Each structure stands twice: as structure tokens, then as C-alpha cells.
């Protein structure tokens, strides 16, 4: 009996709530109705201008590609050019020694010696042949 | 030659049929959305307590329904639409929690954001005496506050069952839970609301 009363009260409560809610829906102002109408038209345009599925994923794919490129650049995993010699500690030592700078200053002298040695070798060869 | 003409005619006919079916689909969807949009707005508004935000949520739900589920039967649209809307409302609440955490550092004391006023936002009278209108508005305002304070799942179950009039099965689809859970949430919501609003409201 008590349970039936409770159920009846629940039902009456729900009915009153529904009635009040419906009234508040009917009382929506013109501006709100107009905005709803515009939203609906925007939704219906989705049907007429249906785009392929991939178009919706294009921005995400673009971002993913950019992230992959950034990660590759960041981690330095770029393909190494086989012709480029690897820099070693010895190269830096050569560059930093004082002798190297002296050699650069006397570059003309060293090139002259080099040419002179070549000329001597040529002469010696001709002598042997001759 | 005749075969070419026949093929062309068949192609035109199928294109026309597709066009007609798209038009019919658009009309059906338009009718459905026009029928549901106002109630959906009020349900969203009670959940987020802001009409502009509710309008955005309803529009998003309409667009997603049209984009993803326009090819479903019209019977499926109601639970699907409310499922999209409820997900939107849940996401909105999550964003609000994060936003509030951030904003608490920048908010000046005494600058509370209590702009929402259900009475001020209430619509114009329609054939009711001012007393009746005021009573209805006050009762609805109390109901809105009480419903807004319910736990999220109870609020969803109550609004979908009572305001939208969905069946238990439809509500379960919209909420993404079992029918048993819907019954439990709904029953708890009604008892809690009756307790909060008291005998005078009824």
C-alpha cells in the first residue's frame, strides 16, 4: 500500500516536472529559436556538402606528419651522406696545432717545393729512359 | 548506339534517384531536428547553466548527427542525438574543471561569475496570469537548480526519461549503459529531487 503511494507520488512528481519543462520550452524567445534554426541549417548543409572521410582527418594527419618530421630532426636520425667524412678528434688536433697555422702562412713555399719535387722526378725518369 | 543511350538513361535515372533520396533524407532530418532542438537546448541548458554554451553544444550535436548518422533509420536518431549531446555536456564539464583550476589563480576576490539568472532569462508570458507565470517560473527555477545538483548520471537519466520522454531502452542507448542502471539512476534521481524540493513544490 505504502509502496503504491510512493509510486503514485513519483509519477505525479514526474508529470509536474514534465509540464513545467514543456512550458519553459514553449516560452523560448525568438532570438534563441532563430539561433537554433541557424544551427539546424548548418547541420543540414553537412548532408549536401558531404566530404570524403579523409578530409575530416586531413588536419590531424598533417599535424602527425609534422610531429614525425620534428622527432626525426630532433633525434638527429637524418640519413648520413656516405661521401662526407666523419669528423674525428685528430682533425681538431691538426686544426688547433700551431704548426698548421705556420703551414698556412707558408702555403706558397710548400706548393713550390711540391712542384719542384715533381719536376725532379720527371727529370730522373727521363734520364733513366734516355 | 542504342546501348549507349540506354546506359546514359540508366545513369541519369540512378543519379536522379540518389538526388531524390538525399532530398528526402534532408527533409526527414530537418523535421527530426526541428522537433527535438528546443527540448535538447533546455536539457543542455539545465546541465551547463548557460544558454550560449547550451546552444553551441546543441549545434555541435546536430552537425555530428548529420555528418555521421544521417544514413541511419529515423528511429535511431533520438538516442544517438542525445548520446552525442550528453558526451558534449560531459566534455564541457571536464573543460570547465580544468578552466576553473587555471582561473582560480587569476580571479580577483569579489569578482564571482554569477551571471546566470533563470528568472531574468525566463521568456515572455503566454496566456497565463502574471501570478501563474511567476509560480511556474519559480517552480521551474527550483527544479532546474535541484536537477543541476544531481550527480551527472542521475541527472541524465531523469532528464532523458522525464523531459525527453525516452523509453528505458532509448535512455540506456543514449547514456551508454544498461537498462538496469537507467532504472536505478532514475529512481534515485526522483527520490532525491522530491526530498530536495519538498512537499510545497508538489
Domain boundaries, chain A: 1-75, 91-130
Mutation site for A-interface testing, chosen from B20, B123, B136 by largest number of A Cβ within 10 Å? B123
Residue A130 has pLDDT above 50, yes or no: no
The answer to whether A17 contacts B193, with C-beta atoms less than 8 Å apart, is yes
Higher local confidence (pLDDT), B133 or B173? B173
CA gap A98, B2 in Å, rounded? 94
Min Cα separation A18/chain B (Å): 5
pLDDT at A127 over 60: no
Q: Are residues B18 and B95 in the same domain?
A: yes
Q: How many domains does chain B have?
A: 2
Q: From B43, which residue of chain A is nearest by alpha-carbon distance? A: A21
CATH number (domain holding residue B52): 1.10.1740
Same domain, yes or no, for B105 and B11?
yes
Q: pLDDT tens digits, residue range B100-147?
A: 888 777 765 554 555 555 544 544 445 667 777 778 888 899 999 999
pLDDT at B12: 47
Across the interface, whether the CB atoms of A28 and B42 are under 8 A apart is answered yes
Range of the domain at B44: 7-109
Q: Say if B188 falls within a structural domain.
A: yes
Choosing from B72, B94, B109, the residue where a domain stops is B109
**Do B87 and B142 fall within a single domain?**
no
- Higher-confidence residue of B190 and B118: namely B190
Tell me if B124 and A36 make a contact (CB, 8 A cut-off).
Answer: no
- Please give the full DSSP string across A55-105, using - where no structure is assigned: HHHHHHHHHHHHHHHHHHHHHT-PPPPTTSPPP-HHHHHHHHSHHHHHHHH
Determine, yes or no, domain membership for B99: yes
Distance from C-alpha of B83 to C-alpha of B80, rounded to nearest angstrom: 5
Nearest to B126 among A13, A16, A27 (CB): A27
Q: List chain A residues with CB under 8 Å of B39.
A: 21, 25
Residues B98 and B143 in one domain: no
Say if B116 falls within a structural domain.
Answer: no
A46 touches chain B (CB under 8 A): yes
User: Using the beta-carbon criterion (under 8 Å), do A13 and B59 form an inter-chain contact?
Assistant: no
Amino acid at each position: 500500500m505504502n509502496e503504491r503511494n510512493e509510486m503514485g507520488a513519483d509519477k505525479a512528481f514526474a508529470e509536474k516536472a514534465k509540464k513545467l519543462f514543456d512550458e519553459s520550452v514553449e516560452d523560448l524567445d525568438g532570438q534563441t529559436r532563430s539561433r537554433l534554426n541557424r544551427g539546424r541549417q548548418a547541420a543540414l548543409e553537412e548532408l549536401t556538402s558531404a566530404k570524403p572521410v579523409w578530409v575530416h582527418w586531413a588536419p590531424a594527419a598533417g599535424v602527425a606528419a609534422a610531429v614525425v618530421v620534428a622527432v626525426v630532426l630532433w633525434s638527429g636520425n637524418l640519413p648520413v651522406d656516405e661521401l662526407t667524412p666523419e669528423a674525428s678528434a685528430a682533425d681538431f688536433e691538426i686544426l688547433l696545432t700551431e704548426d698548421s697555422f705556420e703551414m698556412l702562412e707558408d702555403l706558397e713555399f710548400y706548393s713550390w717545393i711540391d712542384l719542384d719535387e715533381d719536376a725532379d722526378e720527371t727529370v730522373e725518369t727521363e734520364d733513366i729512359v734516355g | 548506339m542504342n546501348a549507349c543511350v540506354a546506359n546514359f538513361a540508366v545513369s541519369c535515372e540512378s543519379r536522379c534517384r540518389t538526388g531524390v533520396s538525399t532530398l528526402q533524407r534532408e527533409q526527414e532530418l530537418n523535421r527530426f531536428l526541428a522537433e527535438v532542438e528546443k527540448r535538447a537546448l533546455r536539457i543542455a541548458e539545465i546541465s551547463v547553466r548557460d544558454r550560449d554554451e547550451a546552444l553551441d553544444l546543441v549545434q555541435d550535436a546536430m552537425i555530428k548527427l548529420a555528418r555521421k548518422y544521417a544514413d541511419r533509420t529515423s528511429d535511431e536518431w533520438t538516442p544517438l542525438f542525445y548520446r552525442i549531446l550528453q558526451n558534449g555536456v560531459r566534455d564541457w564539464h571536464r573543460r570547465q574543471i580544468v578552466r576553473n583550476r587555471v582561473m582560480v589563480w587569476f580571479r580577483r576576490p569579489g569578482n564571482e561569475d554569477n551571471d546566470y539568472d533563470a528568472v531574468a532569462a525566463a521568456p515572455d508570458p503566454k496566456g497565463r496570469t502574471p501570478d501563474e507565470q511567476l509560480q511556474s517560473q519559480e517552480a521551474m527555477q527550483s527544479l532546474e537548480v535541484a536537477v543541476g545538483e544531481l550527480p551527472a548520471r542521475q541527472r541524465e537519466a531523469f532528464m532523458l526519461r522525464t523531459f525527453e520522454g525516452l523509453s528505458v531502452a532509448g535512455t540506456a542507448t543514449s547514456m551508454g549503459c544498461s537498462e538496469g542502471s537507467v532504472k536505478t539512476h532514475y529512481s534515485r534521481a526522483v527520490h532525491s529531487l522530491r526530498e530536495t524540493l519538498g512537499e510545497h513544490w508538489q
